[in-house]
Amino acid sequence: MTGFVHIDDVARIFGPNLTTGERIAAKLGGKVETRSVRAVSDVSLSVRKGETLGLVGESGCGKSTLGRVIAGILPPTSGTVTIDGTPVMENGTKITTRVQTVFQDPFASLDPRMKVGDTVSEGPIAHGLTTKANARTYVAEWFTRVGLDPVWVDRYPHQFSGGQRQRIAIARALAMQPDVLICDEPVASLDVSIQAQIINLFLELTRDLGLTTVFISHDLSVVQHVSDRVAVMYLGRIVELGPVANVFGTPAHPYTKALFGSVPKLVLDADELVKFDTIDGEVPSPLSPPSGCYYHPRCPYATEVCKAEQPQTEDLSDVRAVACHHFQRVLDSTKDVRAVPE
């Protein structure tokens, strides 16, 4: 498949990061965690130019780690990320401005002591996208573009609402004129009414600027709304990938099926008690993942082969792939079931 962003066999392992005291304690046989966390394993995928790829999965499955590796914030332990053939990092250092990031918490990502206009212009001045003399006009243009009044450039972050601060964070990312935007839970900290405005702003800007986007979110309805394709992660691996309508409508992986079935639904039973549907079992620790398919302890389709062999990723079409020994059984069982959250 032709791609613009290529993620090639990327893994990211976090070492135990022990203090000197902990290292000594470990040597003396003390109870210190010395194992490494495989946050991301064997991830290969391509994102096409102008495409929005949604990235979903339960907490701790490696979405943010993968997003940070793609953004060049975190070096991969192995593998490479390229944009239009050019590496994002070299010797552990980001060497491009073509990819920028918008995070969940705009308050944490904006310097409280800096005027927001200065925060937005800092990067573009440093990289020659504008000059100090023209910075105010440059920032004002981006403020207008994200729906902020340009007269606010001299204000500080605390003088804005949460939604406005996220608009500033978006302006800061876009003022770097990226080709690729990594959005990590960009609306999760906002009120529901504001979420819709920010999502619409994203849709408008990605379309108008022709951005290629990776959109990480817990909220499946948001991912369904904004994405062209969706990648489902489980314990550091991509287990299913495909166009939103296919993956949401007829999931081929049992985890995808369970994840989409677990979208919180308020159900009033006969006694008027409120229930939530959840996925059975817990995500295993990435410190000691299960043998074979990582999902097998929770999977209703599991057989002996699943405990012994890790499934390879198989292409179901040129845009859809799944890593499951029994995907055909899963597809057959979901054919007539629309597991799409409304």
Residue 257 in the binding site for ligand SF4 (CB under 6 A): no
Edge-to-edge, what's the strand order for the sheet holding 78-83?
37-47, 5-14, 78-83, 86-87
Residue type, 231: A
Closest approach of ligand ATP to the CB of residue 69, in Å: 10
Query: DSSP letters of 69-105?
Result: HHHTSS--SEEEEEETTEESEETTEE--SSEEEE-S-
CA Rg, the chain, in Å? 22
Instruction: Pick one of 41, 64, 164, 206: the residue that binds Mg ion (CB under 5 A).
Output: 64
Instruction: Pick one of 72, 254, 286, 289: the residue that binds ligand SF4 (CB under 6 A).
Output: 254
Nearer to ligand SF4, 45 or 324 (CB): 324
Binding mask 63-102 for ligand SF4 (x = CB under 6 A): ----------------------------------------
- Say which entry of ligand SF4, Mg ion, ligand ATP, none residue 326 contacts (CB below 5 to 8 A, set by partner kind): ligand SF4
Instruction: Pick one of 41, 52, 64, 227: the residue that binds ligand ATP (CB under 6 A).
Output: 64
Closest approach of ligand SF4 to the CB of residue 310, in Å: 8
> How many Å apart are CA 3 and CA 5, to the nearest integer?
6
Alpha-helical runs (H) found in the chain: 20-27, 63-71, 106-109, 116-126, 135-145, 162-174, 192-209, 220-226, 244-249, 254-261, 304-308, 327-334
Backbone angles phi, psi at 200, to 5 degrees: -65, -35
Instruction: Pick one of 4, 14, 152, 156: the residue that binds ligand ATP (CB under 6 A).
Output: 14
Nearer to ligand ATP, 17 or 193 (CB): 17
Instruction: Pick one of 74, 169, 302, 321: the residue that binds ligand SF4 (CB under 6 A).
Output: 302
- Say which entry of ligand ATP, ligand SF4, Mg ion, none residue 69 contacts (CB below 5 to 8 A, set by partner kind): none
Residue 167 in the binding site for ligand SF4 (CB under 6 A): no
The token duo for 73 is 């914030």
Q: Is 250 helix (H, G, I), strand (E, B) or coil?
A: coil
Which region, judged by CB under 6 A, interacts with ligand SF4, from 84-92, 112-120, 240-248, 288-296? Answer: 288-296
Residue 56 in the binding site for ligand ATP (CB under 6 A): no
> How many Å apart are CA 25 and CA 13, to the nearest integer?
23
What residues from 258 to 297 belong to the interface with ligand ATP (CB under 6 A)?
286
Nearer to ligand ATP, 138 or 234 (CB): 234
* Look-up of token digits 């994102």: 47
> How many Å apart are CA 141 and CA 56, to the nearest integer?
33
Residue 306 in the binding site for ligand SF4 (CB under 6 A): yes
Residue 10 in the binding site for ligand ATP (CB under 6 A): no
Q: Is 112 helix (H, G, I), strand (E, B) or coil?
A: coil
Helix, strand, coil fractions of the chain, as percent rounded to 5: 35, 20, 45
What residues from 316 to 335 belong to the interface with ligand SF4 (CB under 6 A)?
324-326
Nearer to ligand SF4, 176 or 239 (CB): 239
- Say which entry of ligand ATP, Mg ion, ligand SF4, none residue 2 contacts (CB below 5 to 8 A, set by partner kind): none
For residue 192, give every residue at least 6 positions away whose Cβ sits within 8 Å of its Cβ, in sequence order, or none.
none
Q: How many CB atoms lie within 10 A of CB 327?
A: 21
What residues from 116 to 145 belong to the interface with ligand SF4 (CB under 6 A)?
none
> How many Å apart are CA 189 and CA 298, to the nearest integer?
30
| Size of interface with ligand ATP, in residues (CB under 6 A) | 12
Q: Which residues bind Mg ion (CB under 5 A)?
A: 64
Q: Which residues bind ligand ATP (CB under 6 A)?
A: 14, 37, 39, 57, 59-65, 286
